[in-house]
Structure 1
Amino acid sequence: LENVRRGQFEGIREDIATNPSRKPDFGDPRVHPTAGATVVGARKFLIAYNIFLSTPEVDIAKKVAKAVRFSSGGLRYVKGAGFLVRGLAQVSMNLTDFEQTPIHRVFEFVKREAARYGVAPVSSEIVGLIPKKALESAAEWFLQVENFDSSLILENRLTAVVGGKMAVGGLRSGIEPFVEQLAAPIATPGGGSAAAASGAMAAALATMVVSMSRGKKAYLQYERELSDAIARLSQLREELKGAIDADAESYNAVMKAYKQAKNSADADGIITAALRQATAVPLSVAERAREVAEIAERLKPITNSNMKSDLTTGIALARAAIEGAMANVEINLESLKDEPFVAEVRKRAEALRP
């Protein structure tokens, strides 16, 4: 946003007509003579965070702000300035990515830097809203809670139960309906859905291990790798969960296609389209499970060694997902007459072999 606003209204008015990099995404390259222009964008949540120091000397706040802000060589994703507010020196900051540079780390940095000038924080304030996750991370850091997880917070647990994300009655009650559906004497859900569920559980276990290692002092040097792993594993977990239903739906679509084909002039086309989709779903499950396994392997040396068994279990689940999904791919390929599609699938399948 600061790049868009650079030059203020007068500068934008002149620059927008001649500088290609300032050309708006929508509308003509000019601003309204009095209303100006509207900027619409998206970014990570910004936390406006201020720390008051035990001194009225604003120069100290400015020196501390200079040390903490990234533009002067300080912490990444931190902007800062010093002011005199309510008779006290204030280090005023914007935290543009609290997951990469958490609020507790900023507070500790300011505290240590202020000590160089013989002062200390007396209070801090949050202007506007703050994500709950930011405060949970701060609580975990300052309280040094072992094996902290946000589900330990009562309100989070209640929200999960009410929202259907956690079952009342223990873990068994959460998984039991799906297990019993698998056991029922009907074709779906079947092995394909079970493979997708196995892959989703693998991603979940790996995410747990990363989440319980990130932010710990012993693994701060791997902060970037761990954050990237959490982001990707979360995406894979959601996609694999979606494939649980998608696999069952694709099987049912094949059965429906065979029935429709009996009264259609394009019988082969109807069946082929359904079989292609029924093949694509488990193939995508296998590919995603393979990625989960690869991420989990890379996590072993950079996460808590006490959780090695969780990663091992996750990798085993991912491999089971690959094997189960590929079995479904193969059985569909046997019925497909679309040779180019079959060849492409077999090529992708070959890349999944260990």
Structure 2
Amino acid sequence: MKRVMCIPNYSEGRDEEKINKIVDCFRNVSNVKLVDYQPDKDHNRLVVEVIGEPESVIKALLKSVEVAIELIDMRTHKGAHPRMGAVDVVPFIPISEVDTKDCIEYANTVASAIGDMGIPVYLYEEAATNPERKNLAKVRKGQYEGFFEKIKEDEWTPDYGPKEMNEKSGATAVAARFHLIAFNVNLNTEDEEIADKIAKKVRHIGGGLRYVKAIGLPLEEKKQVQVSMNLVNYEKTAVYQALEMVKSEAKRYGLSVVNTELIGMIPLEALIDSASYYMQIDGLSKDQVIETLLIEE
């Protein structure tokens, strides 16, 4: 059976009533499984993960978009995480009997529908219409506040929707992509400048790990800072490699890792890879995990 994963991110992580109204769009929906949802107060962001039959997922997603743009007002939104819209990003990831080409089709279907709601939409990653838009960080640069001028530039004409910023709802980015691991490392300091410096060393654009994107963020409630990372290809840059590089860079400032955070789902292979490294198990395989055998039965 065809299965696709969709991980929409909404710019609301504090108001429980609004969060529940958005998440309700995915609850008890035929052929759609609500895997997880994670609101974050510091980021002021909600990450929802669903898996299901493509048409059913798309229908539920678009309902959630309608709810989110009614409830969220970007004119008053503040949060640590970069964002440009009420419905900030909508990536599609192939799971079973679908491929990247199919996910590009789903991305275009959703982008067109959101554009019809009066919201400018940009396609990124594998769905990007040109190489300049493949990288989400480049698309989102300037964030909500900067997009009012950015959108006027010819090179930033939206793929769908109006060529003017939606004042209330902002802009949205939609993608087809490989499974991304959102992995955060929290440090025992409140110095955001240090987190920024470490992030610049770790991320690919700064000369760091090839498949890592990273930014430094403050965690005001925890009185810590965070190196927030997206590992865009865990097969080529492992989770443990990213963690060890953050640890190494933190040492130069006399800092240590308090804990780490996993936002959303992670493939078993990525965990096996890190377990093998830290436990020094030679040839560890997922076939040695009991639960894997039970699932396959």
Band of TM-score, shorter chain: 0.3 to 0.5
**Structure whose CA Rg is larger:** 1
If asked which structure has higher relative contact order (CA below 8 Å, sep 6+), I would say 2
Task: Give the TM-score normalised by the residue count of structure 2.
Answer: 0.46
Task: Give the TM-score normalised by the residue count of structure 1.
Answer: 0.39
Which structure shows the higher helix fraction? Answer: 1
Which structure shows the higher strand fraction? Answer: 2
